[in-house]
Amino acid sequence: MSTPEFHDPRLTEQRNPRTQAIDVAPSLDIVDLMNAEDRLVPEAVHACRTEIARAVDLVVDAFHAKGRLVYVGAGTSGRLGVLDATECPPTFGTSPEMVVGIIAGGLPALTRSQEGAEDDTAAAVHDLNAHGVSAKDVVLGIAASGTTPYVRAALGRAQRVGAKTVLLTCSEPPPDVAGACDVAIVVRAGPEVLTGSTRLKAGTATKLVLNTITTAAMIRLGKAYGNLMVDLMAWSEKLKDRGERIVMEACRVDRARARRAVEDAGGSVKLAVVMVRRGVDREAARRLLDEAGGLVRRAAGDPPPVS
């Protein structure tokens, strides 16, 4: 029997038999149905753990070579890439150029749908060229359906300039696209609660994977001390409070001592921790960190256990 013309082979475009009566369900049942589907996502992400770890290694290598992680996507996928890139500087003290988000349609697409932008392959090439993508970078294309023309063109351009490429998708990608990438992460979370609405499970899966890649890469670079995110700059009141609490926790000192240390470190929590734990000034702490490859544990010893 031939496949009906309305049947789309892409997993994200298929109908979900478990939610086919959702349009007549009361609110609590809708919530339960959505929650049941959402619980499938973490396991689907876990099944891709090897590929995700390989992507992390590529990103770490790129960072060591002064390269970047460049996200490319359209619609929800593009917005999630831009979101993750935007959150790296305040969380890890990185420069805005270290993790970059490119979305089809440009900045206007962040707040308003740009119809047709995902099909503009020439724009994808132009956007990568405008960002100066080179062989030092990792380009991570995000395409929930695995077929977004903008993302495919961007990955192709990245490969031509020698960049490492990663594809993140929630549906089986075309073999030629997946085969051309250094890593293909295919999160099989299944059909959406509402057919084709990839801001749901596919969006959740994408956020989980991007969180994991950048967080793991930053940890590998020495942005954490134990599970404390020490590589932040205490500039806002919220971050000043957080930085002081981190120094208090890592060094077992009171608030006043932690505050002085952060101030003496010019706002750098990472330097403040080394200064207090090793009893040295800022320049000596900086030398110790440089000698330790930026890893606080090597420069200051093991952190105290969680109390």
Would you identify the CATH topology of the domain 237-300?
A: Helicase, Ruva Protein; domain 3 (1.10.8)
Residue limits of CATH 3.40.50.10490 in the chain: 42-220
Cβ-contact 125, 157 below 8 angstroms: yes
As beta bridge partners, residue 164 has 138
- First vs last Cα of the chain: how many Å apart? 64
* 100-130 pLDDT tens trace: 999 999 999 999 888 789 999 999 999 999 9
Closest CA to 123 of 100, 144, 102: 102
Neighbours of 153 (CB within 10 A): 23
The domain 42-220: what is its CATH number? Answer: 3.40.50.10490
pTM score, two decimals? 0.91
What's the pLDDT score for residue 116?
A: 84
What's the pLDDT score for residue 26?
A: 96
What's the pLDDT score for residue 307?
A: 78
Q: Which residues of the chain have pLDDT under 50?
A: 1
Query: Quick one: angle between helices 201-220 and 27-38, nearest 10?
Result: 40
What's the pLDDT score for residue 56?
A: 98
What's the pLDDT score for residue 137?
A: 98
What's the pLDDT score for residue 105?
A: 95
Residue limits of CATH 1.10.8.1080 in the chain: 237-300
* 259-283 pLDDT tens trace: 999 999 999 999 999 999 999 999 9
Which residues participate in catalysis according to the annotation? 87, 118
